[in-house]
Amino acid sequence: MHLCFATQNRHKLQEIQALLPAGVSLVTPAELGCMEELPETQHTLEGNSAQKADYLFENYNIDCFADDTGLEIEALHGAPGVFSAMYAGKEKNAEANMRLVLENLHNCKNRKARFRTVITLILNGRKEVFEGILEGEILGKPKGSHGFGYDPIFIPKGFTQTLAEMTMQEKNQISHRSLAFKQLREFLAPIVS
């Protein structure tokens, strides 16, 4: 089965390919001739992942899926959420994003936060949605040098290290993204076997 994954990032595609059942072969939008940026103008993770998948299905008539991830902080009413990549500006600078989160949480006792990944799959014209959540807390200052994005200021519930102090393998065992893609894999497995 060919499935288009709504990413232009080859590295990400290979990573996800390795997680999916052997009968699933991923293609990029570029391989379908889609060179334009996929639209992502909605105000929720669900909306954005659906918008990207809808765009591929409507314009290229192919089975496909798209994902969207955000950091949701309770005391900030769910921000940065869908705006996680550009929280501090269009430059998508991870350091600036973390600084802004820490500033906005200054003197705030409630540090509860979660990462949430939403995947929208369109298969034979039918839509399925999968979600992965990693609960945790925002630290007072960054710690660790692995990972990306907000990893240095996020400690998963039940752990003492930030995501940036964990190895990639350790993070992958618990991450929001892994949980969401595990559900996608489990959904696809009986269909392609």
Cis-peptide into 80, omega within 30 deg: yes
Note whether 149 binds ligand IMP by CB under 6 A: yes
User: Looking at 57-65, 66-74, 121-129, 178-186, which segment touches ligand IMP (CB under 6 A)?
Assistant: 66-74
| Cα(119)–Cα(10) distance, integer angstroms | 18
| Cα(42)–Cα(60) distance, integer angstroms | 21
| Cα(24)–Cα(3) distance, integer angstroms | 7
Among 85, 96, 100, 129, binds ligand IMP (CB under 6 A): 85
Instruction: Let me know if 54 is a catalytic residue.
Output: no
User: Looking at 14-22, 51-59, 62-70, 182-190, which segment touches ligand IMP (CB under 6 A)?
Assistant: 62-70
Note whether 150 binds ligand IMP by CB under 6 A: yes
CA distances for 181 relative to 24, 174, 186, angstroms: 13, 12, 9
Note whether 72 binds ligand IMP by CB under 6 A: no
- Interaction site with ligand IMP (CB under 6 A): 68-71, 84-85, 115, 147-151, 163, 175
Q: Which residues are catalytic?
A: 68
